[in-house]
A and B are shown apart, each in its own frame.
Chain A
Amino acid sequence: MSGGQVKFPLDDLLRRDRFPHLWCQGCGLGIILSAFCRAVQEADIDLDHLVVVSGIGCAGRLSGYLNCDSFHATHGRAIPLASGAKIANPDLKVVVISGDGDLFAIGGNHFVHAARRNLEMLVICSNNFNYGMTGGQLGPTTPFQALTKTTPFGNWEEPLNLVQLASAAGATYVARWTVTYTQRLTNSIKKGLQREGFAFIEVVSPCPAIYGEMNEQGSAWQMWEELEAVSRIRDGIPPAEASLDIHERIICGDFIDRERAGYTLRLRQNRDVARQKALASYG
């Protein structure tokens, strides 16, 4: 290859001119990006109809590396922006990829309502237990007593169980994986992409440079080893029992897999009713 670029298997899915990416060494977002690309390939998703929306944060930068239509929205507002796109053009395959703070603190209300509506979209949350982009502050998933820049004496709040929330709000597919389960994560994303309903995947993703550093979790390698050691797969258990304790036990698996009419389908049914009523009343 004289002067040409080396061709990599995921090249068609990536914006090569955007690399190197901005993530720190040992960050799990690269795994999420490659698992997502593989899942898109395996599910044979038409790149021309794929739209990936993200909010603000380290995870929020993921959409910018994908070679499809993508939107880097405001902090917390990826889901409603994606909702507008999906509703206005139901032919699109819409995915939201963002962080724990973006999706569940500032954007928490939108998550609940999109799941309730069963909007046909896949939401992937990179859960790194803190606000990475802004330097390591408390987030809605930060473990009890963990150290962050805004809980310098230990977190006195309790974290949210994301899969339990997603299930209670009405998501039709709910799963949790750590980035160490690359193959299962890929399969899970594939499932989420193929679903005509609200699908949610939490991905436990290490942040060695900031969160790990503050909580003395050792090197990136040690953090990854610990993740592997504490993770267990329990497909099908009630999400409320899918506990997440980063030092003791992380329950992973497919927890919810159910059918329910999607939102844009319901909107089309509403159109039919509206037209019939209009015809009746205008004689």
Chain B
Amino acid sequence: MNEILTGTYLAQGDWACAEGAIAAGCRFFAAYPITPATEIMERMAVRLPQVGGDFVQFEDEIASMAAVVGASYTGAKAMTATSGPGLSLMAENVGLALMTEAPCVVVDIMRGGPSTGQPTMAAQGDLMQARWLTHGDYEMIALAPASVQEMFDLTIEAFNLAERYRLPVLLLADALIGQMYERLVIPEADQVRVENRKKPTVGPSDYLPFQVDDSLVPAMACFGEGYHFYVTGLTHDESGYPDMSPQGQGRLVTRLCAKVRERAGEIIRLDMYHLEDAEVAVVAYGMVARSARRAVDLARERGLRAGLLRLVTVWPFPTRFLDGLSHRLKALLVPEMNCGQLVHEVRGAARGCSVHSLPKPGPIPHSAEEIMEAMEGIEI
């Protein structure tokens, strides 16, 4: 059975995500059914046993996320997929994955919330949850696909980032992207770039499981390799042992943040459209960015120099880039399918121009006309 189903398809976003995971080398998947992410799970149930992997439907999302961490520590590339209510349940063990530096991928197909909300309908209400899912100090990486093709491509990217930086990486897609059907091109196997975690170069007697070099990312031994290492969610030192000293806390969380912050330039991916000469620009991600792109075309037809900054990586946030951009613009517009989340981050970053909010709670995304009119309505 082929691991990479090279070809051109009319595919659903969730399906593309599952195929992207398998192409990236995912061989362990644990989840609990939830709309609108269930199709990822159903595809994995078919595909993983065919390619020699393991699929398990656990008793809840808490168990699913714990199992992903356990599988990751055997060396497996592991993933789970859920929606808001399930993501809320995963919070504590996503924190465990951050603290124990267990590479893995968590997919959130966003639906309306809070609580059970609108299970089958779209929203972008989890942006801040993606950033601050669990308690404590940490950095998150979250990618926001805007097409079925990106559901495939960015799932692979999520695994690569997880392996490179040893952390859980979130794929944050709104329900419309997960559920829609679109053209998908799955490339030849040799065109898929796959990264793997750094393994120890020393033997068990010299191995310190959380010792780092300049990359700030420790080499990872796995269960069963003879290293006899101890892992704890408690604050720990290089040897992995609990460290309750005041310095211990500072050392560990500073490194956990720094390994992402110092590499933010390599991690962040932005899609820029007509920004070179823009006076007004839209900042958006996911489904809303698609309307925004059309809105830019419409506005330009009517003589307004409009542009679009689409966030492919929503976290870490491109603070410095946005600030620089804002000094070349007259205004920024932030349409989003919620009551206003991204706009606060944009306001915090962009000090060179005015920032305007265009919130719209789901499930209907902004139309291109709505975004265009909002751009035209800004006094510049």
A30 within 8 A of B: no
Whether the Cβ atoms of B92 and A74 lie closer than 8 Å is yes
Q: Which residue of B lies closest to A47 (CB)?
A: B228
Task: Report B236 CB to chain A, min CB distance, Å.
Answer: 9
B301 within 8 A of A: no
Pick out which of these stretches binds chain A: B52-60, B114-122, B290-298.
B52-60
Interfacial chain A residues near B242, Cβ < 8 Å: 64
Interfacial chain B residues near A51, Cβ < 8 Å: 223-224
CA distance A112 to B63 in the complex (A): 12
Q: Which residue of A lies closest to B60 (CB)?
A: A109
A172 within 8 A of B: no
Interfacial chain B residues near A63, Cβ < 8 Å: 230
Interfacial chain B residues near A109, Cβ < 8 Å: 59-60, 63
Q: Which residue of B lies closest to A22 (CB)?
A: B242
Interfacial chain A residues near B234, Cβ < 8 Å: 72
CA distance A49 to B66 in the complex (A): 20
Whether the Cβ atoms of A72 and B230 lie closer than 8 Å is yes
Q: A84-B71, A85-B71 are in contact. Are A49 and B224 (CB under 8 A)?
A: yes
Whether the Cβ atoms of A87 and B233 lie closer than 8 Å is no
B229 within 8 A of A: yes
From A79, A84, A274, name the one whose CB has the most chain B CB atoms within 10 angstroms: A84
Pick out which of these stretches binds chain A: B73-81, B166-174, B329-337, B345-353.
B73-81
CA distance A255 to B59 in the complex (A): 27
Whether the Cβ atoms of B233 and A88 lie closer than 8 Å is no
Interface size range of chain B in the complex:
35 or more
From B27, B59, B230, B241, name the one whose CB has the most chain A CB atoms within 10 angstroms: B230
Q: A51-B223, A80-B58, A275-B50 are in contact. Are A88 and B74 (CB under 8 A)?
A: yes
CA distance A254 to B274 in the complex (A): 74
Q: Which residue of A lies closest to B236 (CB)?
A: A72
Q: Which residue of B lies closest to A116 (CB)?
A: B59
Interfacial chain B residues near A88, Cβ < 8 Å: 27-28, 54, 70-71, 74-76, 78
From A88, A275, A282, name the one whose CB has the most chain B CB atoms within 10 angstroms: A88
Q: Which residue of A lies closest to B73 (CB)?
A: A85
Whether the Cβ atoms of B28 and A80 lie closer than 8 Å is no
From B1, B69, B223, B241, name the one whose CB has the most chain A CB atoms within 10 angstroms: B223
Task: Report A30 CB to chain B, min CB distance, Å.
Answer: 18
Interfacial chain A residues near B229, Cβ < 8 Å: 69-70
Whether the Cβ atoms of B50 and A274 lie closer than 8 Å is yes
B93 within 8 A of A: yes
What does the 1/0 interface line of A264-283 toward B look like (CB < 8 Å)? 00010011011100110010
A77 within 8 A of B: yes
- Residues of A49-87 at the interface with B, using a CB-CB cut-off of 8 Å, are 49, 51, 53, 63-64, 67-74, 76-77, 79-87
A interface majority secondary structure? helix
Contact for A92 among B46, B95, B224, CB less than 8 A: B224
Whether the Cβ atoms of B230 and A73 lie closer than 8 Å is no
Whether the Cβ atoms of B67 and A83 lie closer than 8 Å is yes
Task: Report A132 CB to chain B, min CB distance, Å.
Answer: 17
Whether the Cβ atoms of B70 and A53 lie closer than 8 Å is yes
Whether the Cβ atoms of B66 and A72 lie closer than 8 Å is no
CA distance A15 to B232 in the complex (A): 15
B175 within 8 A of A: no
CA distance A48 to B229 in the complex (A): 10
What does the 1/0 interface line of B223-260 toward A look like (CB < 8 Å)? 11111111111100000011000000000000000000
Interfacial chain B residues near A47, Cβ < 8 Å: 228
From A48, A112, A113, name the one whose CB has the most chain B CB atoms within 10 angstroms: A48
Task: Report A58 CB to chain B, min CB distance, Å.
Answer: 14
Whether the Cβ atoms of B233 and A72 lie closer than 8 Å is yes
What does the 1/0 interface line of B33-71 toward A look like (CB < 8 Å)? 000000000000010011010101011101110111111
Q: Which residues of A contact B (CB under 8 A)?
A: 15, 18, 47-49, 51, 53, 63-64, 67-74, 76-77, 79-89, 91-92, 109-110, 112-113, 267, 270-271, 273-275, 278-279, 282
Closest 9 CB pairs between A and B? A84-B70, A84-B67, A274-B49, A80-B63, A72-B232, A88-B71, A80-B66, A85-B70, A84-B71
Q: Which residues of B contact A (CB under 8 A)?
A: 1, 27-28, 30, 46, 49-50, 52, 54, 56, 58-60, 62-64, 66-76, 78, 92-93, 95-96, 100, 223-234, 241-242
What are 8 A-B contacts with C-beta separation under 8 Å? A64-B232, A67-B228, A68-B228, A72-B230, A81-B67, A84-B30, A88-B54, A274-B49
Name 19 extra pairs, CB < 8 A, besides A49-B224, A71-B230, A282-B1: A48-B224, A51-B224, A69-B223, A70-B229, A70-B231, A71-B231, A71-B232, A77-B66, A77-B93, A81-B67, A84-B30, A85-B73, A87-B56, A87-B67, A92-B223, A113-B59, A267-B56, A271-B52, A274-B49
